[in-house]
Amino acid sequence: MFLLQPPKTVPKKGKLTREIPGTSEEERVSLRGDGGPKSLAIIEEVTKPKKPLFFVSSDDEKNNTWNIRPYARKGDNRAMDSVTNLIVKKVHISQEIPTCTRNYTVPAIVFSTKGYAGNHFHDFTDVLIPLFQTSRRFNGEVQFLITNHMSWWIDKFKPLLQRLTKYEIVDIDKKKEVLCFPSMTIGLKANKEFSINTSESSYSMMDFTKFLKNTYSLKRKFAVRLKKNKPRLLIISRSKTRRFINIQELVTMASSLGFQVVLEETSENLANVAKKVNSFDVLMGVHGAGLTNMVFLPENAAVVQIVGLGMEWISKVDFEIPAMDMNLKYLDNKISVNESSLIQKYPLEHQVLRDPPANVITPEEWVSYSKIYLDQQDVNIDVNRFRGTLLKALELLRS
């Protein structure tokens, strides 16, 4: 059983606050009970399956109930269906609530590691970046409470999590105590895909990348000065989908332009990935999660995104805009129909080739879209045409 409420020794006066951005109830709720008659609580409800139940005590006569799935992808049922639905109930101060077994003097943040967590891109855009925005201001004096706890996910990002909180993370799906806190934020909010909307946050994406580089002790702050050194190009070579069909031609051409080329698909060890990517001046790849590692590039480095058929809208939102928010140079190469492997699967007059999606699709359309344009498509780059893109990258590194 859990119970979250402010320690009764805290003399400050306060009020209950509720913050749910957007139009959906299932995003985030912020609650505060600063002593006196108001309090905040969470207990484990005896149901099958068991679910955490949150209480906040107030002198307000209205007994409101809110449902929160603490994951930053509201409106996407495929993601949200796997996230535990947390129930938040406001009760009158006259009602009895459980006695605390432990009082905390720090606030709590509740979030889930379910949804799309485990996909490298979504780990950052749905969890880590929103968590950074929500928790950084506490300078480590904050307790993380996780539902849908996945130990491998915690282990992967432990260095980052340990810099955001000084305390051991609590798995609220298993805890049997009654824990009490002065305030709580249930759920996270992403206000920009793989980035931070500075009009809604006191932090920027540059703040986040600086935080990452400090966490992993990355040495290179700026990209190479071309007059002194040979530029290093990391090509992300995917092995299953969105592969480079003529990868050796690309490597040969890039080397002829003066690049020191390394070809690989990044590993799972994030500390090693961070140090490796930070040693490069240009990161190149077909649209995909591997480009997420641009967060470790030195400032003024370049990102080159290969944009497959039907990927223009998602490439812009997921990586083009974020790259510029990170103070990186950005280039892309939009392939032609003849450079897509889809030409071998569909006739030229087929809608898949003739009229690929140009705008954002709905979550309901995602399955059919991704099956064709993301899962079935490899690229056979026109090396002569692409040569100009890499020459432009060299020019940007000189500027």
Question: In this predicted model, what pLDDT tens digit does every residue of 122-165 receive, in sequence order?
Answer: 999 999 999 999 999 999 999 999 999 999 999 999 999 999 99
| 263 vs 182, more confident | 263
Q: Given this model, what pLDDT does residue 102 score?
A: 83
Question: In this predicted model, what pLDDT tens digit does every residue of 52-61 receive, in sequence order?
Answer: 767 776 777 7
Categorize the per-residue pLDDT at 393 as very low, low, confident or very high, splitting at 50, 70 and 90. very high
- Residue 4 included in any domain: no
178 lies in the same domain as 308: no
135 lies in the same domain as 34: yes
Could you give the residue ranges of the DSSP H alpha helices within the chain?
Answer: 77-80, 120-122, 129-135, 151-156, 158-164, 205-215, 247-256, 270-278, 312-315, 321-325, 351-354, 366-369, 383-398
Question: In this predicted model, what pLDDT tens digit does every residue of 31-67 receive, in sequence order?
Answer: 665 444 344 555 544 444 556 767 776 777 777 888 8
Assign residue 298 the CATH number of its domain.
3.40.50.720
- Residue 18 included in any domain: no
Cα 334 to Cα 307: distance, rounded to the nearest angstrom = 5
Categorize the per-residue pLDDT at 243 as very low, low, confident or very high, splitting at 50, 70 and 90. very high
- Residue 8 included in any domain: no
Q: What is the pTM of this model?
A: 0.90
Q: Given this model, what pLDDT does residue 62 score?
A: 75
User: Residues for the chain: how many in total?
Assistant: 399
246 lies in the same domain as 165: no
Question: In this predicted model, what pLDDT tens digit does every residue of 309-331 receive, in sequence order?
Answer: 999 999 999 999 999 999 999 99
Q: Given this model, what pLDDT does residue 214 score?
A: 98
Q: Given this model, what pLDDT does residue 138 score?
A: 98
**40 is in which domain, residue-wise?**
29-190
